[in-house]
């Protein structure tokens, strides 16, 4: 049975981007559990005892139904350097619980803090986030990420980032790289392009 996860940002008692998380759950269930009733995420969370102060990560594990909901204080990880790592992982519109392929790729980071995955010559994601690169005018995000994140979807919809195929050979033409996901807002982790290592 395939299991999936959603990591929802809970800030001062407010769940962020719930509609986008709900849509991703809907896609996963339509693909894997089409005969089951779609999980109502907001309703499920309302029936839990959740923190009302500070920044927390709400981790939901589900298949045909919710199996686990966990809350934990969130501390942003320090990222200073990124290693380019080749992968043949498939893209997903939702997050599988099994991270074995990502963990294996992450193990190839060497002395860097994280990785940027490269598939068929194009950059994709880091081990934990979507990315965007700044060319001096626009922030561009890979057109085909490995995981279609909720923060990414919101930023594309708002026109703050532009979807674009980015060849690994073009990376050094950019100035900055931003890492973002459901827990890390756009601009909170921003590095000079020189932080990327081959």
Orientation angle between helical segments 18-32 and 150-158, nearest 10 degrees: 120
| CATH number for the domain running over 82-197 | 3.20.10.10
Q: pTM for this structure?
A: 0.94
Distance CA 74, CA 65 (A): 25
| CATH number for the domain running over 4-73 | 3.30.470.10
Q: Domain coordinates of the chain in residue numbers?
A: 4-73, 82-197
Neighbours of 191 (CB within 10 A): 17
8 bridge partner residues: 58
Query: pLDDT for 151-169, tens place per residue?
Result: 999 999 999 999 999 999 9
C-beta separation of 79 from 114 below 8 A: yes
Averaged pLDDT, 22-39: 97
Query: pLDDT for 43-102, tens place per residue?
Result: 999 999 999 999 999 999 999 999 999 999 999 889 999 999 999 999 989 999 999 999
Residue written as token pair 């942003």? 76
């Amino acid at each position: 049975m395939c299991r999936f996860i959603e990591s929802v940002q809970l800030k001062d008692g407010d769940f962020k981007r719930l509609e986008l998380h709900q849509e991703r759950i809907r896609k996963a269930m339509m693909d894997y559990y089409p005969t089951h009733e779609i999980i109502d995420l907001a309703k499920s969370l309302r029936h839990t005892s959740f923190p009302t102060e500070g920044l927390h990560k709400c981790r939901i594990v589900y298949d045909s139904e919710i199996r686990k909901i966990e809350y934990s204080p969130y501390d942003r990880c320090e990222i200073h350097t990124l290693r380019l790592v080749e992968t043949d992982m498939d893209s997903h519109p939702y997050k599988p619980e099994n991270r074995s392929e990502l963990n294996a790729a992450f193990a190839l980071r060497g002395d860097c803090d994280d990785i940027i995955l490269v598939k068929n010559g194009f950059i994709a994601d880091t081990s934990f986030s979507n990315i965007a690169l700044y060319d001096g005018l626009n922030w561009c995000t890979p057109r085909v990420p490995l995981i279609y994140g909720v923060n990414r979807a919101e930023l594309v919809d708002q026109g703050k980032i532009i979807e674009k195929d980015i060849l690994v050979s073009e990376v050094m033409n950019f100035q900055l790289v931003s890492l973002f996901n459901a827990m890390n807002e756009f601009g909170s982790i921003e590095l000079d392009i020189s932080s990327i290592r081959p």
